[in-house]
Amino acid sequence: MAETVLTNSGQPTARLEGWRGIAADWASDQRAFKNVSWGKAMMWIFLLSDTFIFSCFLLSYMTARMSTTVPWPNPSEVFALNIGGKHIPLILIAIMTFVLISSSGTMAMAVNFGYRRDRVRTAILMLVTAAFGATFVGMQAFEWTKLIREGVRPWGNPWGAAQFGSSFFMITGFHGTHVTIGVIFLIAIARKVWRGDFDVERRGFFTSRKGYYEIVEIMGLYWHFVDLVWVFIFAFFYLW
């Protein structure tokens, strides 16, 4: 059976039902992505591919941890800090998580003000988000430095299974690279918003049509994805 519908031009056309209709929608790209911009669609495709990569990393980590016969280091001890003579487990990781989750809030507000075309508040909130991201990367650099000084290497560590070092540097390094790239783009786009590039349609990279702040939303999609990935890393790597 086929359903008759009207196109944008007012001409009747047949729409297939069932699986054939679904295949036609997605294959022809006439209805499924009709109202989706090129930039937003490409970001979603990129995030989907990145999801597979992070999933492979975390699955590889879990496989290595469950299959090794050597005791796995205790994250509460490895990632602890001595503050005021007290041994506090996971304190740095907790602060890093709080900072990154807070940045999601400021990014969401930036997107909201972008919809309202309030360029000053949008730019300020994007810069605040970038500052949170830079703080996170700085604390991660401190964490790396501390563990390297204690003898952790990609091929071994002084507390047990050698796979711990390679898993740690691979997963946190790949995520930290995403955060760093996000910070750079946040600053670049915030500068364009602050200058009013989206209001006067100034030519250049990442400048959409006049009065349209969609790039802020696209940047928000990327940033929220990076934050969500960290939640899984925090749960599987640091709490397990």
pLDDT value at residue 7: 43
- Report the candidate in 145, 177, 151 with the shortest Cα–Cα distance to residue 165: 151
Residues 122, 164 within the same domain: yes
pLDDT value at residue 203: 62
Residues 46, 31 within the same domain: no
pLDDT tens track for 195-226: 887 777 666 555 655 556 788 999 999 999 99
Residues 17, 44 within the same domain: no
pLDDT value at residue 55: 95
pLDDT value at residue 188: 92
Distance CA 29, CA 26 (A): 5
For the entire predicted model, the pTM comes to 0.82
For residue 56, the enclosing domain spans: 37-238
pLDDT value at residue 9: 44
Q: What total number of domains does the chain contain?
A: 2
Question: What six digits make up the tokens of 96?
Answer: 């890093």
pLDDT value at residue 51: 96
Angle at CA of residue 128, ends 124 and 132, nearest 5°: 170
Confirm if 186 and 179 have CB atoms less than 8 A apart. no
Angle at CA of residue 33, ends 28 and 37, nearest 5°: 135
Confirm if 167 and 178 have CB atoms less than 8 A apart. no
Residues 30, 96 within the same domain: no
For residues 178, 131, 104, 236, the Cα torsion angle rounded to the nearest 10 degrees is 50
Residues 166, 145 within the same domain: yes
pLDDT value at residue 95: 95
Residues 121, 180 within the same domain: yes
Residues 8, 28 within the same domain: yes
Mean pLDDT, 10 residues at a time, the chain of 240 residues: 43 62 62 68 92 95 90 89 86 95 96 90 96 97 94 88 92 96 95 82 59 83 96 91
Per-residue DSSP letter, 89: T
pLDDT value at residue 229: 96
Distance CA 198, CA 107 (A): 18
Distance CA 88, CA 184 (A): 33
Residues 43, 150 within the same domain: yes
Distances (CA, A) of 23 to 4, 8, 18, 37: 17, 21, 9, 21
